[in-house]
Amino acid sequence: MQTGTFTGFEVTVTDPGIAWIEFNEPEKLNGMSIGKKRDLIETLTQAQMDNAIRVIVFIGQGRGFCAGDDLKAYSRGAASADALMAPIPPGHDNALGTYNALRHISQALNQKIRSLDKLTIAAINGVTIQTGLSLALACDFKIAAQSAKLGSATLRFGLLPDEGGQYLLMQHLGLAKTMDFIMRKRIVNADEALSLGLVNSVVPDNDLRAEAAALAEEFANGPQVSMRMMKRSIYQAAELTFDQACDEIAAKTAVTDHHPDTKEGVSAFHEKRTPMFNAWLNQIK
């Protein structure tokens, strides 16, 4: 995948196949723009299709992971000179423009994150509001720094969590707590977010990057085919009947049971050693 500096973020890749997407506009608390979202969608598509990439980590510079949309950038509708994607009209200038901008760009980013087969981690370093919260919740794992603040708070401006935030909150909190969280415009600290189930863990601020790297490395060294199929199966199970979910995982198991990683895992168990998964990946050019 392409690395470097793009619209509002930087991409680096570390061994073994960990793609770091780092928001690099701390002076704006890493607010989102149309150009940034389009470049993120393209970057994530590259990550999905690149066999060398196994895990994706999101993190921000400064005091904010992502403090919502950068409204000034939306009014300009421009992309930076190093953008992956050429500028397009920003939308939101009328009702139809808002609908199209949400469906094809803003919501498409969170749908892209959720549709990835490869595991994603949000390393939440600070203020995480509205758009930023939805992006974090779309990720598979969330690690929060102790100083992080998370909230929807769209109703403070008379706005809706229009990027799928209400759905993602429902998945994490359930109906009653989602109603309370959104309607009361709550912004919670890291410990409250952990108790609610919005994040998986809370770590000291200075340990966030190292903790995210350790988790990403753990996932990257795991059996990639089985883990990616398991990810898809878990998300699909939330939408299926029990009989459908059983049939769906049986079909996936028919693949994984006969994969080289499974043979390696069984052999390692009998030989009392650590399995060396993903040898097949090294054979792909």
Q: What is the rounded average pLDDT of the residues 82-97?
A: 87
How do residues 215-259 score in pLDDT, each as one tens digit? 999 999 999 999 999 999 999 998 999 999 999 999 999 999 999
Domains and CATH numbers, the chain: 4-220 (3.90.226.10), 224-282 (1.10.12.10)
Cα torsion for 100, 59, 212, 195, to the nearest 10°? -70
pLDDT exceeds cutoff 80 at 21:
yes
What confidence score (pLDDT) does residue 109 get? 97
Q: What is the rounded average pLDDT of the residues 108-134?
A: 97
How do residues 34-87 score in pLDDT, each as one tens digit? 999 999 999 999 999 999 999 999 999 999 999 999 877 665 544 555 789 988
Beginning with the edge strand found earlier in the chain, give each strand of the sheet holding 64-66 in spatial order.
64-66, 127-129, 149-151, 187-189
Q: What is the rounded average pLDDT of the residues 163-187?
A: 97
What confidence score (pLDDT) does residue 248 get? 97
Position 285 confidence tier, pLDDT thresholds 50, 70, 90 = low
DSSP H or E stretch at residue 135: helix 131-138
| Averaged confidence pLDDT in the chain | 94
pLDDT exceeds cutoff 70 at 212:
yes
What confidence score (pLDDT) does residue 73 get? 66
Q: What is the rounded average pLDDT of the residues 131-135?
A: 97
What confidence score (pLDDT) does residue 110 get? 97
Residue 121 amino acid letter: I
Contacts 24+ apart (CB under 8 A), 102-108: 102/162, 102/163, 105/34, 105/37, 105/38, 105/41, 106/32, 106/37, 106/131, 106/162, 106/163, 107/162, 107/163, 107/164, 108/37, 108/41
How do residues 145-165 score in pLDDT, each as one tens digit? 999 999 998 999 899 999 999
Q: Does pTM top 0.85 for this prediction? A: yes
